[in-house]
Structure 1
Amino acid sequence: MVQTIRIEAEARERAGKGAARATRRGGLVPAVIYGAKQEATLVALDPRDIMKELQKGGWQSHLYEVAVKGGAAVRTLMRDVQFHPVTDRPIHVDFQRLAPGARIRVKVPVHFENEASAPGLKAGGVLNVVRRELEVYADPDAVPERFEIDLGATGIGDSLRWSSVKDAFGTKPTIADRDFVVATIAPPTTEAEIVAPAAPEVPEATKQKAGGKAAAPAPAAKKK
């Protein structure tokens, strides 16, 4: 299951663009914690902590305990990160506060097992991944690190669906009206050489008609 990651934060008193710019000039990243029918909490974060989490990948399904100096720690999900258009560094972060007893909506990555031994792939088939992450409703204390799908018995033309997930860990997919496709084993692709047909030779008379009337023959030279 997903571990809760602790992030240290400092409280911010003022909101607005001016206050956010002042926070960035101080070397920190402005952030806000919202949700659970409570007032928003303004905080500032060390940019190194944010970059560390972004580089891990899968940060949208991780649980974060934002520990504000002088206050209580808050359990959250990192919902959105805004980046500088030039430097690509984080300039603002949104956290969603978790309400007690509420299920959360998260994206969980998919891992495919036994690719090397899958009959369809050994026969030249191609694993076509439709969804690399599955969005589900989950208990905050039981968010899976990943979902696993076994390819060991799959052949060319087979489809792997939500029902193919080995263990859903008590989660429910946000797509509830069908057993949706996660991946397929597509037939092998072949490169066929396509030769353009040669253009038919156009008779000289046809060329002259296409360009206008044929030129009159030159008069014969008079004999002396």
Structure 2
Amino acid sequence: MTTEAVKIQLQVRDVIGKKVKRLRQEGIIPVHLYGPEIESRALQCAQKEIVRALASSGGTTPITVSVDGEGDEQLTFAREVQWHPVRGDILHVDFLAVAANQKVTSLVPLVLTGEALGARLAGGTAALQMREILVEALPLEIPSEIEVDINGMTETSSVLRAGDVKVPSNITIVTDSEEMVVRIEVTRHSQPMATDGGAGEETATDSSDSGGSADGE
């Protein structure tokens, strides 16, 4: 499945160094575009457009960058985002230029699906031990999330490792295959549940927080 890149329009930035503080006060975010095949450039964009693009990409979807007055488009990833430590505003964004036909690595969020019988028997839950997994794929084929099927966790001692995670053939998991992804956790007050059925079945759920921080202008 091919992902459709998010689009964003940037402008050439003449202001650099400490003077970019004035840009931010005007609602403009300094941007740095770089990559192995291009010359690094100082650019800028309206804050609301940066926020929209980052929210839409989710960190895994590529962002197609265009510069005012130029006809070329550049496929990129938002690799580093600098945030204000108190207000939480975006201060700076680094876009890494990539080629559509060259594989890249990216962290992709994990989501649990199914029900772990072993967790129900133990009176516990199937818990993620990592929120994201590192994969390699073409930029437009990186998924927004990867589902981890826990239906096979039928024993109270069941675990799933990175090598057990199923992905399409066009995606390669880079994370060490022995890294633990899911295990059954039991709280000290939990009691094992009867195996002949009954109420109180538990379904694993996942929630994650994201954020980032980077240096540079």
Scaled to the shorter chain, the TM-score interval is: 0.7 to 0.9
What is the Cα deviation at residue 162 of structure 1?
2.0
Structure-2 residue corresponding to 1:105 = 105
Deviation by residue 1:164-196 (Cα, 9 ceiling, x = unmatched): 2222442223334x432211123x32339xxxx
CA–CA distance in 2 between the matches of 1:23 and 1:166?
46
Question: Is the alpha carbon distance of 1:173 and 1:11 closer, same or farther for their aligned partners in structure 2, counting shifts above 3 Å?
Answer: same
CA–CA distance in 2 between the matches of 1:159 and 1:51?
38
CA–CA distance in 2 between the matches of 1:13 and 1:55?
27
CA–CA distance in 2 between the matches of 1:100 and 1:122?
45
- Quote the sequence identity (%): 27
Structure-1 residue corresponding to 2:202 = none
CA–CA distance in 1 between the matches of 2:175 and 2:151?
26
Structure-2 residue corresponding to 1:217 = none
CA–CA distance in 2 between the matches of 1:170 and 1:158?
28
- Answer yes or no: is the 8 Å Cα contact 1:147–1:168 preserved in 2: no
CA–CA distance in 1 between the matches of 2:53 and 2:160?
30
- Answer yes or no: is the 8 Å Cα contact 2:31–2:45 preserved in 1: yes
Matches within 5 A, 1:9-88: 9-18=10-19, 20-55=20-55, 59-71=58-70, 72-88=72-88
- Answer yes or no: is the 8 Å Cα contact 1:33–1:94 preserved in 2: yes
Give the gaps of 5 or more residues in structure 1: 193-224
What is the Cα deviation at residue 43 of structure 1?
1.4
Q: What SS class does the counterpart of residue 118 from structure 2 fall into?
A: helix
Q: What SS class does the counterpart of residue 59 from structure 2 fall into?
A: helix
Question: TM-score scaled by structure 2?
Answer: 0.76
What is the Cα deviation at residue 99 of structure 1?
3.3
Return the letter of the residue paired with 2:75.
R
Structure-1 residue corresponding to 2:215 = none
Question: TM-score scaled by structure 1?
Answer: 0.74
CA–CA distance in 2 between the matches of 1:153 and 1:73?
45
- Report which structure shows greater RCO (CA 8 Å, sep ≥6): 2
Question: Is the alpha carbon distance of 1:55 and 1:139 closer, same or farther for their aligned partners in structure 2, counting shifts above 3 Å?
Answer: closer
Deviation by residue 1:70-117 (Cα, 9 ceiling, x = unmatched): 1122110001111122321001000000035322121111121113xx
2:165 counterpart of 1:165: yes
Return the letter of the residue paired with 1:32.
H
Q: What SS class does the counterpart of residue 38 from structure 1 fall into?
A: coil
Structure-2 residue corresponding to 1:125 = 124
Structure-2 residue corresponding to 1:144 = 143
Paired positions, count: 186
Return the letter of the residue paired with 2:188.
T
Kindly name which structure, 1 or 2, has the bigger radius of gyration based on alpha carbons.
Answer: 1
- Answer yes or no: is the 8 Å Cα contact 1:105–1:137 preserved in 2: yes
Structure-1 residue corresponding to 2:133 = 134
What is the Cα deviation at residue 125 of structure 1?
2.5
Q: What SS class does the counterpart of residue 60 from structure 1 fall into?
A: coil
CA RMSD of aligned residues (A): 2.2
Structure-2 residue corresponding to 1:179 = 178
Give the gaps of 5 or more residues in structure 2: 191-217
